[in-house]
Structure 1
Amino acid sequence: MRAIQITGFGGPEVLRLTELPDPVAGPGQLLVDVAAAGVNYADTHTVEDSYLSSSTLPLVPGGEVAGRTADGRRVVALTDNGGYAEKAAVHESLAHDVPAQVSDAQALALVVQGVTAWHLLRTSSRLAHGESVVVHAAAGGTGSLAVQLAKEFGAGRVIATASDRAKRDLAVELGADVAVDPAPEGLKERLVEANGGSPVDVVLEMTGGPVFDASLAALAPFGRLVTYGMASRQPATPVEPARLMGRSRAVVGFWLAHCLGRPGMFHEPLAELLDMTAKGTLKPQVGGVYPLSGAARAHQDLRSRRTRGKLVLDVRR
């Protein structure tokens, strides 16, 4: 089969198209003929070996696939790497049937980023009706879904950040009340101003570094900052307990991996999101479709913030 393999850690340049033996499904696994593979920001960390879990070489990256099983089921599934390939062996417990009304690319937008956005709002921040929500990177895969879900779940005001005017306009089209520049300098003040002069209740933060610091400073008493990424690859200022106690603020970390073995935390949110998409209530944004051989370009575009929505590899090309 054709696959993208890395034999050394690094940037997009280490992603190379090659021929590999077909995987063999083990006990409890399904062999999927992959039609499309999702690209996530976490993949760029995996390729560098800078993510929360370490990687082992050689490696076929890719944590999500959409395709068909041998018995004809159309599924979207999580993988333990191995997704950037024409075939993938996946755990049956992490495969979910896709409704006919939902495209492969839409399903791929939901299986990681959609379920993440759902949990950021429902599980980690415990969003209450009428609260204000800041969604950073609001034109991205997770952010564009979080903006829509925040409104659907009863947020009083959704404040988006995005790196250019076109992305900010998209965030407003998706339901954000206002969109602002995410540059760290003056960010706290812009977030408070965008909330009518009041500190904010919830921040969904995936950049790290000074954006994390400014977002924490913008929180109201009993506000919650949920951190779920480190895209800037910069460290934030260490959070001392006194900084939290002094304003009754909370910092919550989220990693989807901790949901996968817990009943009700993967299939149920995904089923809800797929149903919303099938009905047109939720509109996953597909920002770019690349051939399998274009995986390096997809990573380059993602890291340079040239993209919006979900990036997908068309494995058949």
Structure 2
Amino acid sequence: MQAITVPESGGPDALTLTEVPDRVAGPGELLLTVAAAGVNRADINQREGHYPSPPGAPPWPGLEVSGTIAAVGAGVEGWSVGDTACALLPAGGYATAVTVRASHALPIPAGVDLIDAAALPETMATVWSNLVMLAGLRAGETLLVHGGSSGIGTTAIQVAKALGATVAVTAGSPEKLEACRTLGADILIDYRTQDYVERMLAETDGRGADVVLDPVGGAYLARNIDALAPHGRIVLIANLSGEDGSVSVRRLMGKWGTIHGTTLRARTDEEKDEIIRELRAHAWPLVESGAIRPVIDSRHAFSDAARAHGRMESSLHVGKILLLP
């Protein structure tokens, strides 16, 4: 089998298509022939040497795939050879075949293309676990999403609208904001030309956002508190700024606010089991109804993986970037 490995950390050109030993499904696992793999920011961090695979996982990137089941490990029920699935992985998705814990696999939702389904597992698990399971976003509330045109952002907009929330987004161009609007975003904020705190307060009669989904971190943390509604919840899912943030504890207390910091990859298998069960029971019906759909920016061959990573690093993409064997 082939995999996109990283022999030496570095830029996009460090990605190398390599022959690696075949994977074998162990007890409780599925072997998938990969149709497509999703590209995530974590993959870039791994390529640069900052985010190695967890113990026991393949040493190359890839957190989500779609494909066809080629083998079923001992003790697995509910799956058969030939079934199609998408799956959440700790690493190793950039390959022509993967093994995955069966409880971390999901059926391809009706109406979703097999290749496009690779855009769902990591993104949906991140958004659903943070907005719904952790922050408790509900109908009538207002969500602020930073980076609304990203894979996470485009998913978060749709999930929040399906829940009956009002959605505000920040993005860096009119084109990106228009893409967010077509997905249902109600408040469009160009962070390059507008102050998002001022806009949020103006658009909500001074109340602010009930939930803030923030992948930026750094200086955004203090400003998120300024944009927060009473009893609001800030969820930090990444720190793309690379900077530590500081907060006014008094300001946070005055809002009765909470700050959650989370990652998905480091969660235990059992925690991920629960998230996948929640997705299958509550989110997948929304995907099958068309209320939520994967937004695909571009598709790239494995041999063109460097270009795919370059596309993500440019921040010009809208939605998910996929790699195809």
Fold conserved between structures, TM > 0.5: yes
Output one character per residue of 1:44-89: Cα deviation in whole Å (capped at 9) or x when no partner: 1222233497689982211111111121111111223111111112
* Residues paired across the two proteins, number: 313
1:219 corresponds in structure 2 to: 228
Q: How does 1:165-244 map to 2 (within 5 A)?
A: 165-183=174-192, 186-237=195-246, 239=247, 241-244=249-252
Secondary structure at the aligned position of 1:93 is classed as helix
Unaligned runs of 5+ in 2: 71-80
Output one character per residue of 1:78-103: Cα deviation in whole Å (capped at 9) or x when no partner: 22311111111222221222245221
Q: For the structure 1 residues 26 and 62, does the alpha-carbon distance in structure 2 shift closer, same or farther, using more than 3 Å as the test?
A: same
* C-alpha separation in 1, matches of 2:106 and 2:153: 23
Is it true that 1:140 corresponds to 2:150 in the alignment? yes
Contact 2:169 2:188 survives alignment (8 Å): yes
Is it true that 1:250 corresponds to 2:258 in the alignment? yes
1:50 corresponds in structure 2 to: 50
Q: TM-score, normalised by structure 1?
A: 0.90
Q: TM-score, normalised by structure 2?
A: 0.88
Unaligned runs of 5+ in 1: none
Q: CA deviation at 1:260?
A: 4.3
Secondary structure at the aligned position of 2:22 is classed as coil
Letter in 1 for 2:195: G
Contact 2:208 2:227 survives alignment (8 Å): yes
* C-alpha separation in 2, matches of 1:187 and 1:278: 34
* C-alpha separation in 2, matches of 1:55 and 1:230: 23
**Percent identity between the two aligned chains:** 37
Letter in 2 for 1:205: D
Q: CA deviation at 1:134?
A: 0.4
Output one character per residue of 1:3-44: Cα deviation in whole Å (capped at 9) or x when no partner: 110122233231111222222222222221111111111111
* C-alpha separation in 2, matches of 1:53 and 1:19: 19
Contact 2:179 2:318 survives alignment (8 Å): no
Greater CA drift, 28-37 or 183-192: 183-192
Q: How does 1:96-175 map to 2 (within 5 A)?
A: 96-155=106-165, 157-175=166-184
Contact 1:34 1:65 survives alignment (8 Å): yes
1:299 corresponds in structure 2 to: 309
Task: Detail structure 1 runs of 4+ shifted over 6 Å in the superposition.
Answer: 52-58
CA RMSD of aligned residues (A): 2.4
